[in-house]
Amino acid sequence: MSILPSAKTPPKPGLADLTVLVYGQTKIGKSTFCSHANGALFLATEPGLNAVEVFQVPIQSWEDLLAACAEIAEGQHPFRTAVLDTVDNAYKFCTDYILKKFKIDHESDLAYGKGHALVNNEFQRVLTKLAFLPYGLFLISHAKEIEVETRTGKYTRIVPTLPDKARKIVLGMVDMVLYCDLDLTPGEDGTQNLRRVIRTKPSLYYEAGDRTGRLPETLDLDFRKFLDAFNAAVSPLKSQGAAKAPAAK
Amino acid sequence: MTAAPMVSTYSMWSLFRNCRKAVEWRHLRELVPLERDWNLHFGSLIHECLQSWHLRRDLSEVLTRIDRLCPRRLQDEGERRDWHLATAMMKGYAASYPSEGFEVIGLEKAFQGPIINPATGAASRSFVLAGKVDGVVRIGSDHFLLENKTASQLDADYLERLWTDFQITLYAYYVEQALGIPITGVIYNILVKARLQQGKGETEEEFQARRSELLAKSKTGKTTAKRKLPEADEEFQQRLEEKYAEPGMFHREMLYLSRDRFDILRSELWELTQAFLDARRRGVFYQNTSFCFNYHRPCAYFALCRSNGNPNVVENFYQRAAPHEELREPSGEANEPVF
């Protein structure tokens, strides 16, 4: 039997098929947001989930994460979405794992950047494998400010708190980059209203992205509203997929 | 009505030979990395300085230009590094070449010409080739191209590689065709980038750690170690100037061009145009993975290729910029104060 495809892969219409990076400042509500995902299982690498009622596996090392991922892959569980909280800590665990494996104190102890490359490869291997599982994957990260020098000037940019190369790996594999932010709007009485929002489109001042290209630029930081917007955005894709289903020969 | 031919340059064809995917990203999708490449910035800064120097041979004008091109040097470490290096380099250059054995005919000479099918002699309807040479100079009755280069290291490999320089042969051919100046050869004007770094000094904690180590090793239990302070700008500039007084920091290599090379080049260039048209027609620009780490660092589009062109990577790490930036007028004159 041929292994070559007979039809094009349709766009992913379900949130459970997607990989999403959620990042933002501390205590803005990233974990609470993700906790409302369908059948969420938290891979908790740091304390901070005390206020949220969730199913969680405490992760204290890269080996813990690998073991949890293996169990998720077996499929003998009711969970539909894995939430890695936080991907920053997971990267640190990955670094510790490589340092221990190669008996070195720092990645730079291996010449010509080999240590850094080993960490990044292992990190990418596991995240890619996790993303290929038939479950949704949410990666949570904190936010930091960096200075970016472009051709037109210097900007302060808000980005996930991952090292530069790891950030490029993560942004390159996710379908959405959701930046959780505070939106300041003037109220009717002249006071300032603070609203917790998700930004889905990139700007010079923060990283964000939406591969579907259909989400509104700003959404309330509310999972139900996000889900409504997502479903409204992908419903044309679902109907297209149904209409284009190849007839059986 | 037929579309105007696409303007191509040496850098586009060179990139096409190395990695077709990179050409698609740069010349068809018009993407460039969001973050500025320091090496390219320094190269263009020195190019402007050399142009100014060869035009009027006025060192104070060149140094003023460097000051103006590095306006944030007091706050910005990268710009301060550029300023120090460019200032010392140009002072050393002016001292090394107090007079020139050539007469400058033209600087930053732009050209554009057809790409000819060597089999039929017909011009391509799809492409023209454009470029800009750093200079055209005359020695006696012979004309030479002046090609300015900054190099991190000047060794035997570097000098031998000049013989296979596709760019300059291409430029010589087109200068002859477009400007009607017969070119005898090329003068490579090479300026070496000093690797000296400005001393940053050490923090109190670093000093105490170093002092403790020295004390532990000392048989008397004493040490005269003092905390290293950051190197002053004047001291660092002095060190750089001494470095640029050493032989080997500036080099000129004169190469004579063979007419046979022109024929090989015309043929190669035509083949490249046909390969490009074929790739564009079929929409296939494949990746040359051997080129991803060509200069021991990732290609500017590595993150993009690794993500299979993920729009998140495009939108967050790249910006759009029209291709062939080398053909634009230098920013020097535009930066002249308006008052």
Q: Which long-range contacts (CB under 8 A, 24 or more apart) does A116-124 make?
A: A116/A165, A119/A91, A119/A94, A119/A95, A120/A165, A120/A166, A120/A169, A122/A62, A122/A94, A122/A97, A122/A98, A123/A90, A123/A91, A123/A94, A123/A166, A123/A169, A124/A169, A124/A173
Q: Which of B100, B96, B97, B99 is nearest to B241 (CA)?
A: B96
pTM: 0.74
Q: Share the mean pLDDT of chain A.
A: 86
Q: Are B312 and A172 in contact (CB < 8 Å)? A: yes
Q: Mean pLDDT: which of B292-296, B304-308, B332-336 is highest?
A: B304-308
Q: How far is B119 from chain A (nearest CA, A)?
A: 42
Whole-Å CA distances, A179 to A28, A139, A163, A172, A188: 11, 12, 17, 16, 27
Instruction: Report the distance separating Cα A194 and Cα A106, nearest Å.
Output: 43
Bridging pattern class, strands A81-85 and A218-220: unpaired
> Which pLDDT does position A248 carry in this prediction?
38
For B311, which residue in chain A has the nearest alpha carbon?
A211
Of the pLDDT bands very low, low, confident and very high (cuts 50, 70, 90), residue B332 is very low
Q: What is the mean pLDDT of residues A106-117?
A: 81
Question: Do the beta carbons of residue B332 and residue B52 sit within 8 Å?
Answer: yes
pLDDT digits (tens, 9 = 90+) for B168-192: 888 888 888 887 889 999 999 999 9
Q: Do B78 and A149 touch (CB under 8 A)?
A: yes
Q: Identify residues of A whose CB sits under 8 angstroms from chain B CBs.
A: 148-151, 154, 168-169, 171-177, 201-202, 207-211, 213
Residue A206 to residue B199: CA distance in whole angstroms: 34
Q: Find chain A residues with C-beta within 8 A of B78's C-beta.
A: 149
% of chain B exceeding 70 in pLDDT:
96
CB atoms within 10 A of CB A243: 7
Q: What is the pLDDT of residue A188?
A: 77
ipTM for the assembly: 0.71
- Considering CB atoms only, which of B78, B310, B319 is closest to A211? B310
Q: Could you identify the residue written with the tokens 């995240």?
A: A127
Whose CA is closest to A209, among A236, A186, A177, A235? A177
What pLDDT does A155 receive?
Answer: 86
Instruction: Give B298-330 pLDDT, tens digit per residue.
Output: 899 999 999 999 999 999 999 998 887 777 665
Q: Which of B35, B76, B307 sits opposite A150 (nearest CB)?
A: B35
pLDDT per position as a tens digit, B79-117 = 899 999 999 999 999 999 999 989 999 998 888 999 999
A196 to chain B nearest CA, in Å? Answer: 22
A177: which chain B residues are within 8 Å (Cβ-Cβ)? Answer: 312, 316
- The Cα–Cα gap between B130 and B9 comes to 5
In tens, the pLDDT along A23-54 reads: 999 989 999 999 999 999 999 998 877 778 89
CA separation for the pair B314, B283 (Å, rounded): 19
- Which amino acid is located at A37 in the chain? A
- CB within 8 A of A123, min separation 6: which ones? A90, A91, A94, A166, A169
pLDDT band at B228 (very low <50, low <70, confident <90, very high): confident
Q: Do A150 and B319 touch (CB under 8 A)?
A: yes
Q: Would you give the end-to-end CA distance of chain B in angstroms?
A: 48
Interface test with B, best of A9, A149, A176, A179 (most B CBs within 10 A): A149
Question: Could you tell me how many CB contacts below 8 A there are between chain A and chain B?
Answer: 57
Query: What are B12-49's pLDDT values in tens digits?
Result: 998 999 999 999 999 999 999 988 777 777 888 999 99
Amino acid at A236: P
Choose the weakest-confidence range: A245-249, B9-13, B118-122, B278-282.
A245-249
Of B24 and A16, the structure prediction assigns the larger pLDDT to: B24
- Which residue from A minimizes the CA distance to B40? A151
Residues of B in contact with A208 (CB under 8 A): 316
pLDDT band for position A11 (50/70/90)? Answer: low
Asked whether residue A247 carries a pLDDT value surpassing 60, the answer given is no
The two tokens of residue B87 are: 């200032």
Q: Tell me if A174 and B312 make a contact (CB, 8 A cut-off).
A: yes
Q: How far apart (Å, rounded) are the C-alpha atoms in residues A95 and A116? A: 8
SS3 of chain A: the string is CCCCCCCCCCCCCCHHHCEEEEEECCCCCHHHHHHCCCCEEEEECCCCCCCCCCEEEECCCHHHHHHHHHHHHHCCCCCCEEEEECHHHHHHHHHHHHHHHCCCCCHHHCHHHHHHHHHHHHHHHHHHHHHHCCCEEEEEEEEEEEEEECCCCEEEEEEECCCHHHHHHHHHHCCEEEEEEEEEEECCCCCEEEEEEEECCCECCECCEECCCCCCCEEECCHHHHHHHHHHHHHHHHHHHHHCCCCCC
Q: What pLDDT is stored for residue B219 in this prediction?
A: 83
